[in-house]
Amino acid sequence: MHSLLPIATAMYAANIAWAYNNGLAITPQMGWNTWNYFGCDISEDTILSAARTIVAENLVQHGYQYVLMDDCWQAPERDKTTGAPIADPEKFPNGIKALSDELHTMGLKFGIYSSAGQYTCGGRYGSLGYETIDAQTYASWGVDYLKYDNCYNDGRSGTPLISFERYQNMSLALNATGRPILYSMCNWGEDQPWNWATTIANSWRISGDIMDNFGRYDDRCPCTSMLDCKLPGFHCAMARIIDFAAPFGQKAGPGRWNDLDMLEVGNGGMTHDEYGGHLIFAAISPRITTNNASHSFHNVVYSQEPFDPRQRHHPYGHHTLPSYAAPSRPLTFILQTSETYSIITNDAVIAINQDAKGSPATRIWKISVEGGDLSLWSGSLVNNTFVFALLNTSPSSQTVDIDFTDVFFDDGPAHQTERLSAYIACHVDNDVSP
């Protein structure tokens, strides 16, 4: 008998050879990023406080290992003699190496930010033309992860080859240091990175910046598809990014992932159920949260028992968790309340995100309903286990009959008529029955 996991999640990965051969991100990276909550208001104290909370709340045990320092860490100018990057001495009085060492002592990994342009998106100096010295400096600081943005790129975009060459320069420089540094491209889906970043990066953004909203349309995120989008923009609602990502599963896999941008869970712009859906579909890509991790959780009860999906209950309802799951996208979050904690530590969804098989979930169908749409996603996991998901973007509850011919469309008639054991990994509607 095979296992079937009905959950609202999907995974974009293909079971083909690894492309970016630095041995990193074999499953999608998980961690916390400063940007969406703190913006430029960061410091050594901000980052260390967040890191202590991550450790104290046992998030490392759930897989969240990277602490990412985003934009605005830089001093006003580079070193006048060497051209090397320098940290803002007021924000980071002990320097970046000391910060990195402290995070490593906590059992965490350290990430840094720059841009493949003259300036970063926050107006600090970028790395365009300084790839070698910057990569060498990051390695000397003990950096484990680079988020590499796309602002002020001097017009060096517009064709896949132009963008590839610009981002390849940093890829080569990082590899030349001899230190394993996860390379996370953030070029917003410009020039179709899913077609060329697979050989130079561990992950690549597929759209404009996310906003903390479930489905609101915003003209600053104007494209209806990313396949030939000329202005990725920003303020892209979560449901729109999921829609953008649907075709790209065939392009990703172990070591190279589509990135649907950071988790907004806990930032306050969505409901509990919408954040649950956000996490579920974040399981298809790197999982980086971006919230106020320096705030501890309230009324959190921890269990020291080993994870047994058939015995533990999920906070959304009395449904058993799955025994297997598959990888997805990078994850990052903000930690403020017990509700946030319960969402981002859903072991079933994390297991799907981190599954070793790397087999994609596919959107089988999408239909319009009043106020939104309804879609079915299906995929296979390790140990002959399968996962399917329903996503409802309308404001109304929907009653849906699932045809197993659709769920197992890629798996053939034998599975379509077979007796299965089903487990609810996660749902965000109390009317859902197992």
> What mean pLDDT is reported for the chain?
82
Q: What is the rounded CA–CA span in Å between residue 221 and residue 232?
A: 6
Angle at 383 between CA 381 and CA 385, to 5 degrees: 50
Q: Which of 289, 362, 381 is nearest to 50 (CA)?
A: 289
Three-state secondary structure call for residue 162: helix
Q: How confident is the model at residue 411 (pLDDT cuts 50, 70, 90)?
A: confident
The whole-number average pLDDT for the span 391-409 is: 88
Q: How far is CA 368 from the centre of its chain?
A: 27
What pLDDT does 173 receive? 97
Q: Which domains does the chain have, with CATH numbers?
A: 30-296 (3.20.20.70), 361-433 (2.60.40.1180)
Q: How confident is the model at residue 51 (pLDDT cuts 50, 70, 90)?
A: very high
Q: How confident is the model at residue 284 (pLDDT cuts 50, 70, 90)?
A: low
Cα→Cα distances 405→240, 346, 411, Å: 27, 29, 9
Q: What is the rounded CA–CA span in Å between residue 178 and residue 361?
A: 35
Q: What is the identity of the amino acid at 159?
A: T
% of the chain at pLDDT higher than 70 = 79
- Show the 3-state SS of 243-289: HHHHHHHHHCECCEEEECCCECCCCCCCCHHHHHHHHHHHCCCCEEE
What pLDDT does 11 receive? 35
Yes or no: say if 184 and 259 are a contact pair by the CB < 8 Å rule: yes
Q: How confident is the model at residue 379 (pLDDT cuts 50, 70, 90)?
A: confident
Yes or no: say if 387 and 364 are a contact pair by the CB < 8 Å rule: no
Helix, strand, coil tally for the chain in percent (to 5): 25, 20, 55
Q: How far is CA 246 from the centre of its chain?
A: 15
What residues have CB less than 8 Å from 303, skipping those under 6 apart?
Answer: 312
Tokens of 83: 């051209």
What pLDDT does 364 receive? 92
List, for residues 226-266, the tens digit of each pLDDT value: 999 999 999 999 999 999 999 998 888 899 999 999 988 88
Are β-strands 145-149 and 287-290 bridged in parallel, bridged antiparallel, or unpaired?
Answer: unpaired
Tokens of 420: 């299965």
- 392 bridge partner residues: 374
Dihedral-angle region of residue 332 (phi above 0 means left; psi in -120 to 50 means alpha; beta otherwise): beta
Q: Which of 256, 276, 246 is nearest to 346 (CA)?
A: 276
Question: E strands within 247-315?
Answer: 257-259, 287-290
Yes or no: say if 416 and 408 are a contact pair by the CB < 8 Å rule: yes
Q: Annotated active-site positions, please?
A: 149, 209
Edge-to-edge order in the sheet of strand 372-380: 362-369, 372-380, 385-392, 2-6, 420-422
Tokens of 225: 């598809």
User: Which has the minimum average pLDDT: 84-98, 266-280, 312-326, 409-423?
Assistant: 312-326
Q: Which of 256, 246, 261 is nearest to 195 (CA)?
A: 256
Q: How far apart are the first and last CA of the chain?
A: 18
Q: How many CA atoms lie within 13 A of 276 on its CB side?
A: 24
The whole-number average pLDDT for the span 190-219 is: 95
User: Which has the minimum average pLDDT: 42-46, 262-266, 292-296?
Assistant: 292-296
List, for residues 119-140, the tens digit of each pLDDT value: 999 999 999 999 999 999 999 9
What pLDDT does 309 receive? 28
Q: How far is CA 37 from the centre of its chain?
A: 16
- 387 bridge partner residues: 5, 379
Read out DSSP for 368-434? EETTEEEEEEEEE-STTEEEEEEEE-SSS----PPPHHHHTTTT-HHHHTS-EEE-----S-TT---
